[in-house]
Amino acid sequence: MNQNEEQERGQKIDELFSLLQEELEEQEREHQEIERERERILREKEREKELRRKPSKKAEKLIDYRTLTPQEIKKELEKHVVGQEEACRQTAIMMYQHLQGHRFVGMLAGPTGSGKSFMTETLQRVFPDIVYLREVSNVTNEGWTGLKKVSTLFKDVHCPVDYLGEIYPLVVFDECDKLFAPKISSNGENVSESLQAEFLSVIHGSIVEYKDSDGRVKKVDTRPISFLFAGAFEKSARTIAERESGSAFGFGATGKKVQSYGRELTREDIQEAGCIAEMCGRIQKIICLNKLEADHFRRILDERTKGPVFELENEFKLRFHLSESIKDEIAHEAYVSGLGIRGIKNQLRNYIDEAIWEDCHTKTVEVG
């Protein structure tokens, strides 16, 4: 065999080897593809099996949440919120929609003592796994001093990454009227507007990052979260009352007594209170709570199936015996002080404390 033939033979061997190598690599790729497909099928089967298993207690509870009707949610709210039938009805509808997977942004507006806090606290009591209460009056802008930022409001908020039958959170921003109120910095900037822009970002939907107690960065996707603002807007209600009843002071004063919350607050009123237009546009519904009068509070004290008397009797396993004059006095003070139902509850707690001091085993609280 001459040198040329030997070179040709070597080239053919190299070509065959190269073809064999390519064929082996192709077979390896096909094998890997088959493996990946097999693993995918196994994962799908495992997922189907997991979904067919008996749900956990939390999953069972979430399933139970979805079976609630708006009427049943309203009934739960009215166990603790008295004299606000329409507000309870509207809140129940909103909560029902959220449980069915329909995101919303709403607002509760009403005077101090009307039951806003009881409304949101009851929502959290009934739906502890999905309702988060956050007080926002002292939130500061990113880059400013202060520990409470928009991002930290989402600490410990559990928002599922994949939808596997879980219900997304509802975050309540309480004291929002103080958040909206204009705050002018030394250089003339309204810092409230820039802070609201941060809130607007999370309401629109964004990825929020915060550090947990161990310093690890956590992320929350706010896109599926529902939001409920709550605020008293006392100053705005007073201004509206003075404007609509005529000039309260000076030339042209009518002398008429000004009553705040003579009508429901509107979107325009909220914007006048400092809420930026973009934020107002995101709020789908404003639920207004009525201003309760002294006779409302008096009826609340006679209520034995719901309200503060019912709650405290159940909590402390005792029975109130209040004279009619004492009930009138408590109701009048609740109305005049503006503390409303919370004021009633505080006074009843004082009576319990005094009774326990006299007899720590007492089962009755008698006053008057």
- pLDDT tens sequence across 186-242: 888 899 999 999 999 999 999 999 888 888 898 999 999 999 999 999 888 788 777
Q: Among 76-85, 266-275, 342-351, whose mean pLDDT is lowest? A: 76-85
pLDDT of residue 257: 52
Residue 206 CB neighbours (<10 A): 14
Q: How far apart are CA 210 and CA 152, in angstroms?
A: 6
pLDDT of residue 355: 95
Q: Exposed, middle or buried: residue 334 (CB in 10 Å: 0-12, 13-18, 19+)?
A: buried
Amino acid at 230: A
Q: Per-residue pLDDT tens for 287-300?
A: 999 888 899 899 88
The answer to whether 271 touches 277, Cβ cutoff 8 Å, is: yes
CATH dotted code for 60-288: 3.40.50.300
Residues with Cβ within 8 Å of 271's Cβ and at least 6 positions away in sequence, in order, are 277, 280
In this structure, what is the dihedral angle of CA atoms 269, 271, 272, 274, given to the nearest 10 degrees? 130
Report residue 367 as tokens.
């006053």
Average pLDDT over the chain, rounded to whole? Answer: 85
pLDDT of residue 206: 93
Residue 311 pLDDT level (bands cut at 50, 70, 90): confident
Q: How far apart are CA 343 and CA 353, in angstroms?
A: 15
Which pTM was predicted? 0.74
pLDDT of residue 342: 85
| SS (HEC) of the chain | CCHHHHHHHHHHHHHHHHHHHHHHHHHHHHHHHHHHHHHHHHHHHHHHHHHHCCCCHHHHHHHHHHHCCHHHHHHHHCCCCCCCHHHHHHHHHHHHHHHCCCCCEEEEECCCCCCHHHHHHHHHHHCCCCEEEEECCCCCCCCCCCCCCCHHHHCCCCCCCCCCCCCCCEEEEECHHHHHCCCECCCCCEHHHHHHHHHHHHHHCCEEEEECCCCCEEEEECCCCEEEEEECCHHHHHHHHHHHCCCCCCCCCCCCCCCCCCCCCCHHHHHHCCCCHHHHHHCCEEEECCCCCHHHHHHHHHCCCCHHHHHHHHHHCCEEEECHHHHHHHHHHHHHHCCHHHHHHHHHHHHHHHHHHHCCCCCEEEEC
Residue 249 pLDDT level (bands cut at 50, 70, 90): very low
Average confidence (pLDDT) over 170-175 = 97
Q: Among 24-38, 152-166, 238-252, whose mean pLDDT is lowest? A: 238-252
Q: Per-residue pLDDT tens for 119-163?
A: 999 999 999 989 999 999 999 987 777 778 999 999 999 887 654
Residue 251 pLDDT level (bands cut at 50, 70, 90): very low
Residue 264 pLDDT level (bands cut at 50, 70, 90): confident
Does 250 score more than 50 pLDDT? no
Domain boundaries, the chain: 3-53, 60-288, 294-367
Q: How far apart are CA 128 and CA 153, in angstroms?
A: 17
Does 43 score more than 50 pLDDT? yes
Q: How far apart are CA 14 and CA 8, in angstroms?
A: 10
Average confidence (pLDDT) over 45-74 = 70
- What separation in angstroms does the CA of 290 have from each of 87, 108, 178, 254, 344? 8, 11, 20, 25, 17
